[in-house]
Amino acid sequence: MLLFWVLAPIMVLAALGILFVRKAVHAALLLAVVMIGLALLYLLQDAPFLFAVQIIVYTGAILMLFLFVVMLVGVDASDSLVETIRGQRLAALSVGLLFGLLLTLGVAQVSVGAVVGLTEANADGNIQGLAQLLFSRYVFAFETTSALLITAALGAMVLAHRERLTPKPTQADLAKKRMRDYAEHGKHPGPLPNPGVFARHNAVDTPALLPDGTPSELSVSRVLAARGTVQSLPELVDDIAEFITPDGHEGGERK
């Protein structure tokens, strides 16, 4: 009972926060608080199966999917508040009042005693009793809900599908575009280096040499050049001569 009085104010505050926060990401996080609190209330009522489903399915899968979609697509806080569907606010208010009435009647029936208690309902186990109800008395509603969820998933796929307005570029088209960028903007047509390579082109640790033998500045990162860590071979001649012994083998101490 103590857990209920601790969770109830937190869930109510989080639910009110969903209605008044301006950012959709914050609303999704507050909804996660409400769902986790609801799962703990299921556990308090000796319903471990509903507790696991609430955490794994709703909080861990569906809500996180909503959150990822909001973060990827992006929802600006300055969205238009103009009513695009006529009468939607009145319909939302009516549905909210009906839901509140239904919730009030449900709580009243539980308080009066018209509903079977949890002890009798869970006499053979919570999971067994829930399965017996779902696949016997409420099997039609269960299958209808399953078909509705599948239809919603297919509808989301159809709505998210976007027809390609332009033809897919081929390798020849990409090559022509690289050469056109090189001719118009001077952008190098070669590929970029692999991740972790300090170069703008295919250079690993030494600059690329031009036909006249001089190093290409494009093959070395400007960061290394600004730090002064790039050294050419003539600058290292003395160190190499001190490091190599007269017989041609490496040895000695570098100064």
Same-domain status, 30 and 58: yes
Mean pLDDT for the stretch of residues 217-232: 69
Last residue of a domain, one of 48, 73, 98: 73
Same-domain status, 152 and 203: no
- 253 in a structural domain: no
Last residue of a domain, one of 118, 136, 160: 160
- Based on the structure, what is the number of domains in the chain? 3
C-alpha to C-alpha distance for 171 and 152, rounded to whole angstroms: 38
**Per-residue pLDDT band at 254 (split at 50, 70, 90):** very low
Q: What is the pLDDT of residues 182-194, one digit of tens each?
A: 888 888 777 765 5
Same-domain status, 175 and 146: no
C-alpha to C-alpha distance for 182 and 173, rounded to whole angstroms: 14
- 93 in a structural domain: no
Average pLDDT of the chain to the nearest whole number? 75
Last residue of a domain, one of 160, 183, 215: 160
Same-domain status, 29 and 67: yes
Q: What is the pLDDT of residues 72-112, one digit of tens each?
A: 666 554 555 666 677 778 888 898 899 888 888 877 766 66
Q: What's the domain range around 214?
A: 171-243
**Rounded to the nearest 5°, which phi and psi values hold at 250?**
-75, 140
Q: What totals of helices (H) and strands (E) does the chain contain, helices first? A: 11, 0
